[in-house]
Amino acid sequence: MSALNNKVAIITGASSGIGYASAKLFAKKGAKVVLAARRRDELEKLAKTIHQQGGEAVSLAGDVCEEEYAEALVQYAVAEFGGLDIAFNNAGTLGALGKATTDTTYTDWQHTIHTNLTSAFFAAKYQLPEMMKRGGGSMIFTSSFVGHTVGMPQMAAYAASKAGLVGLTQALATEYGANGIRVNALLPGGTDTAMGRSVANSPEAVSFVEALHALKRMAFPEEIAQSALFLASDASSFTTGTALLADGGVSICRT
C-alpha cells in the first residue's frame, strides 16, 4: 500500500517549486490532491500531468491571502474527495529584498506577514474542523531556517513571518493533538526553485549560497518534497510540533 493511499491533501503554492514537486509525489504515493496557487493555467497543466501518471488531482486557483479562498479550498476538497486528511500550506513570498529594515515600508511588511503567516492562520481555521471529522490528520507549514537558526540582513519581515509559523505550529500541535491532528513546520535550506533563483541570480550568488550549506549545494525541490511526504504520512505518526530542518546543514555550517 502506498504511503498516502486514499488520503486527501491540499497543497498550496502548487504551481511551481516545492509545492509542484510535492503535489506530484503525494499523488504518486496515492493521495487525492487539491492543487492551489494563483496561476490557473499552471495548476491545470499539473493536474493533467498527474492524471496522465495515474494519479488524482483537481485544482482551484486563488490567493492564499484571502480568507474566502482558504474556506473554498476545504469545501472543494470535501466536495470532490469527501474530506481532508493532509494540508501542506506551502505558499509564500520572500517579500521585498535588498532593503534595510529602516527602509522597509509598512506595505512591504504587511504584504510579507499576510502572505506567509496570516494565510497560514486562515488555512488552519478551515482545515482543522474537517480533519477532526476524519479523526485526525497532518498539517504542514513551510517555514525557513531564516529567523529560526540563522539571521540574515535585510530580511526582517520574511524572518518574522517564518518564525511566526513555528510558533503557530507549536500552538496548534498542542491545541489539537488530542484530536489526532499532527502539526509540523518544514524548514528547507536553499532550494533550486524560481523563488530561490530570485536570490541566487548569478553564478557568483549561486556559489555563495551553495557554500553556506554543509553539503555545499542547494536542494532539488524533489528532495524537500520527500521531507514533506514524511510529515504527511504515518511514518511520522509520533512527530508533532516540530520545526523539521531539511536545510542541507546550513544551520550548523561554519566552513
pLDDT at residue 219 greater than cutoff 80: yes
pLDDT at residue 74 greater than cutoff 90: yes
Which pLDDT band holds residue 10 (cuts at 50, 70, 90)?
Answer: very high
Please identify which of the residues 20, 69, 158, 176 carries the catalytic annotation: 158
What's this model's pTM, rounded to 2 decimal places?
A: 0.96
Mean pLDDT of 87-102: 94
- Please state the φ and ψ torsions of residue 122, each to the nearest 5 degrees: -55, -45
Mean pLDDT of 223-237: 98
Kindly state whether residue 39 falls inside one of the protein's structural domains: yes
pLDDT at residue 196 greater than cutoff 90: no
Beta strands at 8-12 and 243-246: parallel, antiparallel or unpaired: unpaired
Range of the domain at 55: 8-246
16 DSSP 8-state letter: S
Kindly state whether residue 1 falls inside one of the protein's structural domains: no
- The CATH number of residue 100's host domain is 3.40.50.720
Query: Angle formed by the axes of helices 156-176 and 119-133, to 10°?
Result: 20
In 3D space, the residue among 244, 239, 242, 10 whose CA is nearest the CA of residue 123 turns out to be 10
Per-residue model confidence as pLDDT tens digits over 23-62: 999 999 999 999 999 999 999 999 999 999 999 999 999 9
Which pLDDT band holds residue 1 (cuts at 50, 70, 90)?
Answer: low
Which pLDDT band holds residue 197 (cuts at 50, 70, 90)?
Answer: confident
What SS3 class is residue 185? strand
Q: Determine whether 106 is an active site residue.
A: no
Which pLDDT band holds residue 199 (cuts at 50, 70, 90)?
Answer: confident
pLDDT of residue 64: 98
Kindly state whether residue 115 falls inside one of the protein's structural domains: yes
pLDDT of residue 216: 97
**pLDDT averaged over the chain?**
96
Kindly state whether residue 146 falls inside one of the protein's structural domains: yes
Mean pLDDT of 85-104: 94
Question: Cβ(43)–Cβ(19) under 8 Å?
Answer: no
Which pLDDT band holds residue 95 (cuts at 50, 70, 90)?
Answer: very high
pLDDT of residue 97: 84
Question: Cβ(243)–Cβ(148) under 8 Å?
Answer: yes
Per-residue model confidence as pLDDT tens digits over 128-145: 999 999 999 999 999 999
Residue 183 amino acid letter: V
Kindly state whether residue 67 falls inside one of the protein's structural domains: yes
Total domains in the chain come to: 1
Which pLDDT band holds residue 86 (cuts at 50, 70, 90)?
Answer: very high
Torsion angle, CA of 241/21/188/116, rounded to 10 degrees? -70
Which pLDDT band holds residue 191 (cuts at 50, 70, 90)?
Answer: very high
